[in-house]
Structure 1
Amino acid sequence: MAVTDAQKAAAEQVIQAIKCVSSPRKKRVLADLFLDLVDKETWADYYQVIPQPRSLNGISEKLQADSYTDPLEVHEDLSLVFWNALYYNEPASQIYKDAETLKNAFENEWRARTVLPVPSRTSPPPTSAQKVHGQLANQQQTLVTPVPPVALAPPVNSAAQQPLTLTGTPSAAPAVGSPAPPPQASASNQPSSPPRMSSPDMDVDVGGTPEPESMGVDDMARDGESDLVVQQLERGLPRWEGLGDFGWLKEKEGSEDRQSELVLAIKGHKDAIGNRYAAALEAMPEETNIPYLSFSTPLSLKLIESRARANAYASNKVFDKEVAQLFEKARRWHEPGSDVYGHVLLLQRLYQALTSPTPPSGPPYVSSTNFASLRAGPGTARPLHSSSDSEKLPAVTTFRVSSKDRTFVDEVTYRGWSIKLADWLHLSNPDDPSKPIIAQVFKCYVSDEPSKKGQPGVTACWYYRPEQTFHPAQRQFWENEVFKTSHFADHPVEDIIEKIACQFTARHIRGRPRPPSWCLGWPLYVCDSRYNDRERIFVKIKNWNSCVPEEVRKSADFMPIYPFERMVFPRRFGSPFLKGTRVRGPGGIGESIGRAEGERIEGGGTGRKRTRKPGAPTDISGPSKGLYVGVGPANVSGATPQPIVYTPQPGSGQPRTEDRSVVTAAGGAAVLGTNADMEKLSAETARHFDRDPETNEVLWFAAPPLNVAGKPAPRYSLQYLHWLATKRKRADDGDSMEVDGEERAERGRSLVNRTAAETVEKLLMEMGE
C-alpha cells in the first residue's frame, strides 16, 4: 500500500524523536553517530560485513522524495540502522548500548502512532546481517561440524533424564573443526572425537587449570572454536519452566486497595536527592523479547498499575506473580553491576519487605541497609564473635552453622522458588544492591524465636567477588569468578533475589549444570579459590568436598552437568580496579598471598611468611621486586625446556635464591598443561641476549629497562689538568731535577702526551732548522 501523507508525517515524527534521545544526564545526543553512513575509506570492512547499510538522514531523504511505497519499508530501514550497529559492534561498546537504547525508543515511538501499521515481526529483517550471516554460519556448521544434538545433550522431552556423567567412551560425533565425511561414507566409518576426560570426583584436584594470576594480559579472548562448543551445547539445553505455584501472597481483606498501594510505593520511591528508582522499570519496553525469560507476554509497570487500579487481578497470587515477573524481566534487561540494575534489586527488596510479616514504616520508606535484613555485606561485615572493636564494623556473620532457636527443614518456598540444601542464591546486599550477595545454602530452617515465630529462612555461606577482595594489581581473574569464604549468615526468605549457580573449575571447564541446578538465563559463576578476608590470603581449592554441605558430598545428584565436546576455559580479566571506571569496593589493590590448600602459614597466622615444600612453585601474586627469570642451557641446546631452580649448596655462604623461571612463575608445567606453548630457543637467537656471568643462562626480565640516562664517564678535575700542564712546562724549561739531563726530560715527555699546540710548535721549529 502507498504511504499516505499522515503516515509520512508520522514517520518523520518518529525519526525526529529518535534524533532527540539523549544520555541520562543529557550530555550527548545518542543519534549523532547514526545520522549518516559510515565512511567507506575509514571503515571499508563495514560494507563487506553489512549487506544493507542505512542511516537516519538517508531514510529521511528517501521519505521526503516519496521513494517508499509501503510504510513497513520505512520501518524495516529504520530497524536496519540499529540492527546493523548491533551486529558490527562489540556488546560491551558504547555504540552498541546506544543502538539498543535507540532501537527501543524507535519501537515505542512507532507503536505510539496508530496511523502507522504494526510490523509483523520483531526479529531482524531478512536483509539484515544477522539473518544473512546467520544462514551462512549454519551452512558452514552443517558442513564443518556436523554434531548431532544428541551427542551434546539428550532431547528436552525425554521420558527419563538420568544425571549425565562424563565417561571415557569416545563420542560418535566428529570433533569440532574436523572435516565432514564424504557423502558415500557409512556411519561406521565416520571419524569420532578423541576420548573425553572423565568427570572428576569433587575431592580430586584436576590438573591443567592455570592460575589466573599467572597470565600477563588484561583480557585474553577465548578462541572462536571454544565459543562454538559452548553455543552448540546451549542450543540443546532445556528451557526454564518458570516460577512455581507456591510461596505467593495470600488473600486478605482490602486486597484490591493494597495492590495499588504496593505499585505506588514502587513507583514513587526516591533516593536521598530525589531520583526515582522506578525509572529503571519504566525504561523497559512493554514487549517481552528477552531470551530465556520464563514468560513471553507483554509486561510493564504501567500495565500492572492499570490492572491494579481496575481490580483486574483475580487474586493476590496473580498480582504477586506478575510483579515477580516484572523484576525478572528487569534483571535480565539491565546490565548486572550497573546503577540501574541496583535500583531494580532495591525496588524488588522494598516490595518483598512491604509484603513481609513485618513491613517497614512509611511512606516514605527509608532504610540504611537498602531494606536488606542484615546490617552489612561482604567485605564490610565481621564475625559475631570477633573481639576487635577497633575495626568499627558491624558484627553479622558466623564461622559455623547455628542451630539455636530454629527447626531445620528440607526446603523453603518463596515466590515461586523452591530453595533446598546446597542451592545457590543471589541475596540482597545491604551495602550495594547492584552487587547481590552470592551464597550457597547450608541449611533451611523455620525460626523458633518469639519475635520471628514460624518465619522461614536460610543459612548461607558467602562468596566474595573480585572487587570485594584485596589483591595485587597484576592478579588475573576468571570470567565471573568468585571466592569462597568462611562467612555464614542467616537470611530470611525476603532477602532472596533469585536462584543462580556456581561451579568449581573442575566441572566448569567440562560442561554446564543440568536443571534444576541451573537454567539458561540464570547467572553462572565459577570458583577456584578460597579467600581469607582477615589475612587477605587466596588459597587454591584442592578438596572440593570441604566447600559444600556435608549432606551432598559425593552425591551423584549434586549439580550434574551436560558435558562439552572438549574442555573450555573461561576468559580472564585483570583487576576490576584497573579498568578505568570507578568500581565500588570494599576491596582494593593491596598485598595478598596466594598459596595451595594445605600449605602451612608461619608467624602466628599472619600470612606474611610461609613454608614451601622443596621445589614447589614460587607464588607471584605479591608485588614483583626486581623479578627476573632464567631459561637455562636446555632451552638453547634443543632439549625439552625445564624450569631452573637456583639452590646454592649448604654451607656455601650464599643465600637461597628462589626458582624464578618462566614456567615456575606461571604455576609449573602441570598447571599450564596444554594452555601454554613452549618452544626451544635456538643458539642463533640466544646469542643476541645477555647471559648470567656465573650460570651462562639467558637472562629474562619482568619489564623493559628504565629510560634513564647512562652514567657519564669520569673526568679529570681542573686542578689535575693544571698540575699536568705545569709539569710539562717545567720539563720543557729544564727546571726539573733529572740526573741524565735531556734524556730524563725526553723520558718525561714520552710518558705525557703533548698538546696540539706543543706538537705544532715543535714541528715548525724542525722545519725552520
Structure 2
Amino acid sequence: MSTKEQLTLTKRIRGLYQELFDLTDPESGEPIQYIFNVVPDKKHYPDYYTFIKAPTSFNSIKKRLNHYQSPNEFIKDLVQIVWNARTYNEKESFVCRYAQVLDDFIKNRVMPKFASAGYDVGYPDLSPIEEGSAGVLLPYNYGKERQSTPSPTPVMHQQTMRLITTTPRSVSRASVRSTPMHDEEYEEEEEVVKKRYTHKEQSFKRGRPPVIDKPYEQRIKNVLRNLRREKGVEGDSLTLLFERLPDPRDYPDYYKSITQPISLDEIKKKIKQRKYKEVEPFVQDMKLMIANAKYYNDESSTVYKNTLLLEKWFVKFLEAEMKKPDSDFISHDSLKLPLEQLELRGKLYKIGDWILINNPNDAQKPIVAQLFRIWQTQDGQRWINVCWYLRPEQTVHRVDRLFYDNEVFKSGQYRDHLADEILGKCYVAYFTRYQRGDPAIPYEGPLFICEYRYNDNDKNFNKIRTWRACLPDEIRDHEDPITPLPSLRRFKKIESPLKHLLPPNATPHMPIPEPIIGAPNAPPLHGAVYLRDVDPTDDLGQYASSRNCPKYIIRPNDPPMDENDASLNTPLGNYTRNVVSHPQPPAPVYHATPSLTTVSTASTFTVPIALETATSGVLKMDVMSNKRRLGGLDVHSEGPVIWFKTPGVLIPNRTVVNVCGDFGQADEDGQVNETIPGSGLAGVVRPGNSAAYLAWKKQKLEG
C-alpha cells in the first residue's frame, strides 16, 4: 500500500471512528460510548477475562487508528466489541441492546462506506475464533448500489478547507469532554428479574428515570434529531463536523479568532441538564455555532459549505416545530407535567435531593433515595422518580462481607412514588470524599456512606469510581463542598446483620440465594447470605477473610486501636443529624438541601507587617490556577498561598548571609540584615542552611 493509499484509508477510518460517539440507544437515548469506551476493570470483573480472550474497546481502537492496513482490520475490531458484549452479557441486558446498535452501524454504515469506495470488505465470523486469529470474512452483499466493479485503488478526495475536522487527532468525547462511565452504569439493565420465595410472582423494574419533557424541550430535541438525519456535501453526517470543538493543540489559532467557542456537544449537555428554560437560548447557541464556523473557515471549504447547509436545515426544522401547538407534544392519556421542585409539609424538594421514603416493608427503615424526576398528572397527583440506595440487610452478599455504619449501596432501581410517600431528607456522602472531610453544608436527617453499587440481578458489589455518574444530569457539574480533615479518616467495619441466616449445612459451592420480597414497590423484606472461599483478589477490605486490607479500615478482629485516634470516624447513629457549625445566610443549593452554606477552610493567620514587607518579592502561587496542586484546600479562599520549604525556626535576632541579596539593604560586605527584632520569625523568610553546607558554600565562593 502506497503512502497516499494509507493516508486515504486512515482518513476514512478516522471519520467512521468519530461517528461511533454519536451512536445512541433508541430506547433510552443514552450514548453507547459509555459502555464500550474502555474494557471492564480486571480487578472487579475477573471472570470477564476468563471468557473473553480478546478484550477490545473504542479506546484501544483509537490507539490503532494510524496502523490499520485494511478496512477489514478496523471492522474486525468493531465486531470484536459486539461479540464480546454478546458473549459475556445476558441477551436481554441493556449491554446487548447497545451491542446491537453498534452491529447495525457496522453493517449499515461502515461496510457500505468502504464498499462504495472500492474496498473488498467482509463481516468476520468470530464465533469459533481463538485469540489472535484474523477471523473468517463473510462476503458483504453490496446490493444494487454497486453497479460496476470499482478500481481497487480508492480515490483521494481533495479538500481545501482550513478546518478539516473538529477533532483532527480523533480525541473522543469520552476521553476529553466526559468521564467514562462504563463501571458506573453497568447495572442499569432494563430487564425484568423474577423473584422467588414469594406466594406470587413479583418483578423489579430497571432502567433509567423516565423522560418527562415540556413542549419547548421536545421542540429543541426534534430540531436536533432532524438535523442529525441530514447528509453533508460529501454524503457524511451533516452534524459530524460540529459535534466537538477543535483540538487546541492542532488549531491554536481557532481559539484566538473565536472568542465564544461552542459545539453541539456543549449544546446537548445543556439540554440534558435542562439549562434551556425556553427555545430562544437554544436558538442563540445554534446561531453562535454557525457564525463561528462561517467566520473561521474559507468560503470554498467543505466545512463552510456544510455550515450553510446546516443553517438552511436548522431554520427549516425550527420553523416547523414552532408552528406546532403545545397540544401536539402532550399525550392526553398519560399527561405528565414536569416540575422543577415541590413543596411538601413545609419543606422544599428539588432534583438531586437525598430523601427518605416510606418503606411498607419496615416503617423503621425508610427507603434511602435520590430524587431524579418530579411531575404532576391530570388528576393533580404529584409523583417522583428516585434511585434507591439499599441497606446491607436488603442485599444478598457473602456471609463474611463487612459494612460501615450507615452504609448504603447504589442500586439500579429507578422507581416511581407518590410525593406524599416522602418522609423527610437525609444525606448520602460518597466514601472517597467523606474519607477526606465532612460535608460543609447544613444537611437534614441522617448521614449515610456509599462506596459501592449493587447489582440485584447477579448480587455483585462494584466500587463506584465516578460519583458524578450516579447523580442526575441536572447536578452533575456541581459538587458539594467538604471541610477537609487533618488526615484521612479511618473506618471501623462491622459484620453482616444477616450472618445468622446462613444455613447450617452451607458450603462454598452453594447457589446464591434470593432475597425475600415483600411489598411490590419497596426494597426486599430482607436479603440473604451465602458462603464462599477466600477471595485472593480483594484488597479493599470487603471481607473479614481477605488477606489484604487497606490501612484506613479496621476490621472486627483487628488489634484494638487507640480510642483517642482522631482519624477514627465518629459512629453514625441512626437518624441523628450531623450538626454543621458556622451557619451562613442561605444561598442557592445544588442538592441535599434548599440552602447551601460554604464553610471556608482559609487560614485566619495574620502575617506580621515586618514579615509581609520582607516577603514582598516572594513568588506566590495563584490559587485558582493551581486547583489540582492544592488538593483539599479551599481553592475559593481569597489571596495567594505562600509555600515555605520548611517550618519557621525560632531564633531571636538572627543575621543570615544572603548570597543573592534579594531582600533588605546590603552592607559593604555584601551581607543583608534580615533581623526582625523581637518577632523571632526571621527564619520563616528564608530557612537557614546547615553548617556543613555553609562551609562548603563559603569555600566554593572563595575558591
* Fold shared, TM-score > 0.5 on shorter chain: no
TM-score normalised to structure 2 length: 0.29
> Which structure would you say has the larger Rg?
1
TM-score normalised to structure 1 length: 0.27
